[in-house]
Structure 1
Amino acid sequence: MSTLTVWKFRTADAAEDVEASLKSLQKQGLIRIIDAAVVSWPADRTAPRTRQLRNLVGAGALGGTFWGMLFGLLFMMPLLGAAIGAAAGALGGKLADVGIDDAFIDEVKREVTPGTSALFLLTMSEITDRIGAALPAGGAELLHSNLDAASEERLRAVFAEDVEDMEGTGDAGGAERDRDSGGGAAPGAVGGR
């Protein structure tokens, strides 16, 4: 079973600081990260910065479409080129269909605010104790939503269709995805910085 966890940090840069610890746990075989992203929200900004942690994930990653839809719904901003706006209701429905319900979304919206940061992890099985032990003492609060195997498969199917649709239309949002994510070249990215 996969678990989607959100770890909220009290400062805008703390979530970025745990990447090396997670990489170490993964190398030791103590955790298996399927996909990961960070949200950093400086107190003086109106919107958070987001970044997919590509160096922690493998071939099974959900990718930018998933994170774009989730973060767009949470923070009403596009990430990695995903279209938000009037489609927010439909996005919420897609996420609810795969086990990410309104209560989870409302809690994250309430908790991840200016001056904080968050680490979003999709991991194999519930390993929150191992991850929690690697985080700074007292520096993170856990919010989480478990996905059963059927929900994970639906999640993959839903977002695989979206990627195929974008590729089929020649969506040139790839360069924007790379710039918005703050990371390396996005899969299927067009152009560069």
Structure 2
Amino acid sequence: MNIKGGLNIATLTVLKFNTPRGAEDALAVVEDLSKRQLITLQDAAIVSWPEGKKKPETSQLTSMAGAGALSGAFWGMLLGLIFLVPIFGIVVGTAIGALSGSFADVGISDDFIKSVRSKVTEGTSALFLMTSDAVQDKVKEAFKGMDFELIASNLSKEEEDKLREAFAEE
């Protein structure tokens, strides 16, 4: 993302799919849109929760590099907060509270976290995207026919800067 102009607002978007593979298929669509300069894909992560598994599998888009890409620490902490907290229990409650508070500082609210946690369950998948500069009608057209639920959180310029400062690769 080109932050220099200050006009671009990043969006942390979560697309929830009713199949464990849906997020992978959607990422291919987003990558194609990005190649055609119809959206700026800054970073992405996938959560896939196959049937019969106790917890989801996660992966970060590893091909991203440079100023726009967030570190694995961001995705690891966010996905851990969303999906692994129930496993830890009360013992780490204070640490989780502090972590949750730091995400709130960058525009990722408890409601957002709870919403994703309640919707991404066994047998589903989710695509976490950090994007900007989307050509809305073209993106909408590319996703036509795909069955997903959209959960989005727009970040203000200040929240985005805080997020990058805290987690961006050097």
Alignment of 1:86-105 (within 5 A): 86=93, 87-105=95-113
How many matched pairs? 155
The answer to whether 1:24 aligns with 2:32 is yes
- Shift in alpha-carbon separation, 1:49–1:101, aligned structure 2, 3 A: same
- TM norm structure 2: 0.82
Amino acid of the residue matched to residue 83 of structure 2?
A: F
Q: Aligned ranges for residues 6-17 of structure 1 at < 5 Å?
A: 6-17=14-25
Q: Does residue 120 of structure 1 match 2:152? A: no
Q: What does the per-residue CA deviation read over 1:100-123, in whole Å, with 9 as the maximum and x for residues that have no partner?
A: 001111110111011100000001
The CA distance in 2 between the partners of 1:128 and 1:116, in whole Å, is 25
How far 1:135 sits from its partner (Å)?
2.9
Q: Give TM-score scaled by structure 1 length.
A: 0.73
Unaligned stretches of 5+ residues in structure 2: 1-8, 86-91
What percentage of residue pairs aligned between the two structures are identical? 49
> In 2 relative to 1, CA 128–140 (structure 1 residues): closer, same or farther, beyond 3 Å?
farther
Alpha-carbon contact 1:7-1:120 (below 8 Å) kept: yes
Higher RCO, Cα 8 Å, sep 6+: 2
**1:75/1:124 CA distance change after superposition, 3 Å:** same
Corresponding position of 1:111: 119
Deviation at 1:58, TM superposition (A): 3.4
Q: 1:129 to 1:11 in 2, by over 3 A?
A: farther
* Cross-structure match for 2:53: 45
Q: Which runs of 5+ in 1 are unaligned?
A: 78-84, 165-193
Mapped to 2, the partners of 1:134 and 1:26 lie a distance apart of: 12
Contact persistence 1:11–1:116 (CA under 8 A): yes
Check whether the contact 1:8–1:142 (CA below 8 A) recurs between aligned residues.
Answer: yes
Contact 2:31–2:41 (Cα < 8 Å) also in 1: no
**Deviation of 1:4 (Å):** 0.5
Distance in 2, Cα, partners of 1:138 & 1:17: 9
Q: Would the alpha carbon gap of residues 91 and 129 (structure 1) be closer, same or farther in structure 2, given more than 3 Å must change? A: farther
Listed as ranges, the matches of 1:121-160 within 5 Å are 121-125=129-133, 130-135=138-143, 137-160=145-168
- Work out the CA distance in 1 between the residues paired with 2:103 and 2:21: 27
Q: Give the CA deviation at 1:142.
A: 0.4
Structure 1 residue 129: deviation in Å?
Answer: 5.0
Aligned to 2:44: 36
CA deviation after TM superposition for structure 1 residue 88, in Å: 1.3
Q: How many Å separate the matches in 2 of 1:6 and 1:20?
A: 15
Quickly say closer, same or farther: Cα 1:16–1:76, change in 2 above 3 A.
Answer: same
Q: Select which of 56, 65, 72 maps to 1:58.
A: 65
Q: Which secondary structure does the structure 1 equivalent of 2:22 belong to?
A: coil
